[in-house]
Structure 1
Amino acid sequence: MIKKGLLILLIMAGMLHVSQAQETWSLQKCVDYALENNIQIKQAELDNKTAEVNLFGSRMSSLPNLNANLGYNYSVGRSIDPFTNTIIDQDVTSQNGGINASVPIFNGFQIRNAKKRDEQSLLAANYNLEDTKNTVTLNVVTFYTNILFNRELLEVAQLRLQTTQTQENRVSKQVELGALPQANLLQIRQQLANDELEVIRAENNVELSTLQLKQALQIAADVDFQIEVPELNDPEQGGVLESSQQIYEYALQNQPVIKAAKANTKSAEYGIGVAKSGYYPSISASAGFSTAYSSAAPDQLPAIGAEQVVEQVPIGIVEGTNQVVVTQTTRPAEFRDNTFMNQLDVNQRKFAGISVNIPIFNRFQVKNNVQRAVINHERNEYQLIATKNQLQQTIEQAYLDVKTASKAYSALENSLEAAELSFENAKQRLELGATDAVEYTQIKNDYERVKSDLVRAKYDFIFKSKVLDFYQGKPLNF
């Protein structure tokens, strides 16, 4: 029973392995996998998070600062008593602590402009992330289409090889019967060798294009990988295309690469305002609380809030008389013991204030910062223009490619029909001995070349159409 159970488990594991190995990848699955695992997308996501952090920081910069401090000191010899601020000659331990806060009131609109600058930077990061995803998607579609294209070329090469093998068998029998000369058989066998080489090349192209897609998906080369082959109808001819200018106008409003360039330009514009804030005065308010403890404090501390008592204190006698010279001193009426908490209570200090910082001369640093910000803004404006120009050129080229591919496909369809009739006629004449293998091979090669060219034109038209669909915001699927 145990052996049977193990055998069943092994069979089930093998079936599971086979099912996994035979799993096919659709175009949508390839795109989803790339969007989830692509390194460039992950880097763009990190740029997005950085922009979010920067924006959060600029938004929080208008809030108050709040800080606390603690300190401990030990002095030996002549020092200043922290309690009375008098000079003493003894060992002293002291502790202090406090809390303070400050808030900006006006800083030349720096915070406002920095906030708007970082908002635009975040928008640009979002659009850059979207553009990176679009680029990755388009690359996956390109590699996926290449596999389909090379597979169909492989099928054409295999069918050509089968046709040549069939013809070689017929010619071989006719040569044996003396109906055809030996030269015809040699010519057919040479063509057979060429067709076998073309099959090998086509197989290599399929493997190479599959490897390119694996690399785009960051899948190991030795992983079993099969793509789903969709039903691709022959391209429809005669459809009305929008003009390249219409496609460009749509892309200009919707392509994330343009939106990112616009957001970067706007961010640089607010950056000028941030730099100019250095010309203005800045105003801030502050408040704080502190207290301290000293081992050199007296044993008795004045009670907080106690009434003051005026006393007459003798300080000497007038010379030559019995008259006493006195002075008046004020002292607290009540005292309390010098404990740690009582001393902290007595030494409390509270403060509040407003400060104004007026820039007068700063070695032209603000001027230089403004000039750099202006230059950066101009650079982003030029980048926006360059991005628009590149987009227009790409769309115009894609538009022309689609029109050219459509014409080429139509012409090759007509050429294939004529080449096929010519090939069928040459095949019949070869079997009847009305032509030799050289002429037959030439006609057959012309026919196969037209078939291969038609396959290329078909996929060229499909892919070029997908590129144009991409700029029109249409889904990239088959």
Structure 2
Amino acid sequence: MKRQSFVLLLIAIYGSAIGQEKWSLKRCVDYAVINNISVKQADVQARFDKLTHHQSIMALYPRINSQHSGGLQFGRSIDPTSNQFTTNEILFANHGLDVGLDLFNWFAKKNTVKANNYLAQASVARLEKAKNDVSLNVANAYLAALLNKEQINISQVQVDQSREQFNNIKKQVDAGALPELNQAEAQTQYATDSSNMITARTNYILSLLQLKALINLEADIPFEIEVPPVESIPLETLAELDPALVYQSALEHLPQQKINNLNLLASERNVAIAKAGMYPTISFFGGLNSRYSNAQKIIPRDYAITAAPSGLVNISGQDYIVYSEARIPQGFDKNTYFRQLSNNFSQNAGLALNIPIFNGGSARINWQKAKLDVENQQLLREQDSRTLKQDIYQAHTNAVAAIQKYNATQVAVESAQKAYDFARKRFDVGLLQPIDLILNQNNLFRAKINLVSAQYDYVFKMKLLEFYKGLGLKL
């Protein structure tokens, strides 16, 4: 009972996909390129590196900063406007504007801009690589789903044949022409083929789930793929996919090679940046400042010059008053906020020379590390190029083997079909036992499955070579 329920569930799931809008490989790839998580992460990193490059460009311009502060000062302190000691509470405010510009730093900033530009371009190429990787994985999963769907069709034919044979043998057994053993053997074969059908449908549903996971489509969304005729899938000939030519094309078109070249250029710029850190730099600075204090609430409007007694002097026993000039305030004005800012306004400008003398050897060591990084990038590029060449030649060898296997399985299917046809004719006239017919039927079934598998394997391996060549993926 449980097995029957499981079969009904599979049939219901499989049947629900029928009638839905079908997805082509192009649609699957396009959807994956937009929605796949790894592609989205690569896109975020590319935008991040683009901002880093833009930031290094903005660092070429002068630095301008404005500072503003205010507070309450109490206890014995210095009046910030009169510079005198006081014990009064003072409400103060300070305002400033600073400007700085690097005049000469051995082109460190310009090299930083170029290095970040190379890294930003490498991130764009890395995004393209992520798209290519996802596209290749989607194509592989799509072809696997097509293979599983084709196996369903082959299994269905096998089930139909087994059911027909079982019904025929059962009639002959009921008529007494054949023993019951033949009916049991035919029934066993019918059950086995039905089980194979269930397995084929299960594998197809699982392959669709895997494909939906790659393109980041929810598992519960109805999904069905188009089934293009395998024979109509465009393929280049092996002569056009010579491994040496494919390798040269891959060096120019594949994003990984662009990434390695751009990373190498960036590391060479980093050497110049690190070297600049060992030399003096010249920069310009300037500033505007002013301040306010409520301790200086009023200021004299004018001064009157008068003689005021300042002491006594004794001459021959006679005291005389000594007068000195004194400035007497004549009226007062309020020392307002903006008046203080105007009266206390100051400016400064100058040049600064920074000479690195000894900083724990960090500048020189950074320079040496940068040179080692160039060597590492060169080795990485060489390693990836050799790996790419090895992969292409291996893919070409696999493609040749896949063609040969496909041709061999075609012959095997033709032979198995002839053997089955002869066995069926002999069985129909009573010259062959049912078990022998079943054996020939199984041989034909396996040969057809092997043919479909070899055909899709051949198509994928040829498409892989086309991908390396830079032709993309087309079905």
Q: TM-score, normalised on structure 2? A: 0.87
Cα distance, 1:444 vs structure 2: 2.0
Matches of residues 131-210 of structure 1 in structure 2 within 5 Å?
131-210=129-208
Matches of residues 272-351 of structure 1 in structure 2 within 5 Å?
272-297=271-296, 299-300=298-299, 320=315, 338-351=335-348
Please identify, of 124-133 and 438-447, the stretch whose mean Cα deviation from structure 2 is larger. 438-447
CA deviation vs aligned residue, 1:154-175 (integer Å, no higher than 9, x gap): 1111101111222222233333
CA distance in 2, matches of 1:110, 1:250: 36
CA distance in 1, matches of 2:149, 2:259: 39
Equivalent in 364, 374, 377 of residue 380 of structure 1 = 377
Name structure 2 gaps, 5 residues minimum: 1-15
Aligned to 1:13: none
Cα distance, 1:403 vs structure 2: 0.7
Q: Give SS of 1:353's match.
A: strand
Quickly say closer, same or farther: Cα 1:104–1:309, change in 2 above 3 A: farther
Quickly say closer, same or farther: Cα 1:234–1:59, change in 2 above 3 A: closer
AA aligned to 1:86 is: Q
Equivalent in 414, 426, 447 of residue 417 of structure 1 = 414
CA deviation vs aligned residue, 1:122-165 (integer Å, no higher than 9, x gap): 01100000000111111111111111111111111110111122
Equivalent in 418, 429, 442 of residue 445 of structure 1 = 442
Cα distance, 1:302 vs structure 2: 8.0
CA distance in 1, matches of 2:327, 2:288: 27
CA distance in 2, matches of 1:460, 1:208: 19
AA aligned to 1:247 is: V
Aligned to 1:266: 265
Quickly say closer, same or farther: Cα 1:331–1:160, change in 2 above 3 A: farther
Name structure 1 gaps, 5 residues minimum: 1-17
CA distance in 1, matches of 2:348, 2:326: 28
The reply on whether 1:434 has 2:431 as its aligned counterpart is yes
AA aligned to 2:395 is: A
Please identify, of 331-340 and 359-368, the stretch whose mean Cα deviation from structure 2 is larger. 331-340
AA aligned to 1:137 is: S
CA deviation vs aligned residue, 1:273-313 (integer Å, no higher than 9, x gap): 2222210111111111111223333833589xxxx999999
Cα distance, 1:75 vs structure 2: 2.8
CA distance in 1, matches of 2:256, 2:328: 78
Please identify, of 329-338 and 31-40, the stretch whose mean Cα deviation from structure 2 is larger. 329-338
CA distance in 2, matches of 1:182, 1:420: 28
Cα distance, 1:199 vs structure 2: 0.9
Quick check: 2:236–2:466 contact (8 Å CA) kept in 1?
A: no
CA distance in 1, matches of 2:17, 2:202: 26
Quick check: 1:108–1:279 contact (8 Å CA) kept in 2?
A: no
Quickly say closer, same or farther: Cα 1:345–1:313, change in 2 above 3 A: farther
Cα distance, 1:260 vs structure 2: 1.0
Aligned to 2:465: 468
AA aligned to 2:376 is: R
Matched-pair identity in %: 32
Aligned to 2:366: 369
Aligned to 1:215: 213
CA deviation vs aligned residue, 1:212-267 (integer Å, no higher than 9, x gap): 11111222322221112222217889753432121011001110011112212221
CA distance in 1, matches of 2:64, 2:35: 42
Q: What is the root-mean-square deviation in Å for CA atoms of aligned residues? A: 3.1
CA distance in 2, matches of 1:312, 1:361: 64
Quickly say closer, same or farther: Cα 1:422–1:91, change in 2 above 3 A: closer
Quickly say closer, same or farther: Cα 1:170–1:285, change in 2 above 3 A: same
CA distance in 1, matches of 2:301, 2:60: 42
Cα distance, 1:472 vs structure 2: 1.3
Cα distance, 1:211 vs structure 2: 1.1
Quick check: 1:301–1:338 contact (8 Å CA) kept in 2?
A: no
Q: Give SS of 1:240's match.
A: helix
AA aligned to 2:381 is: L
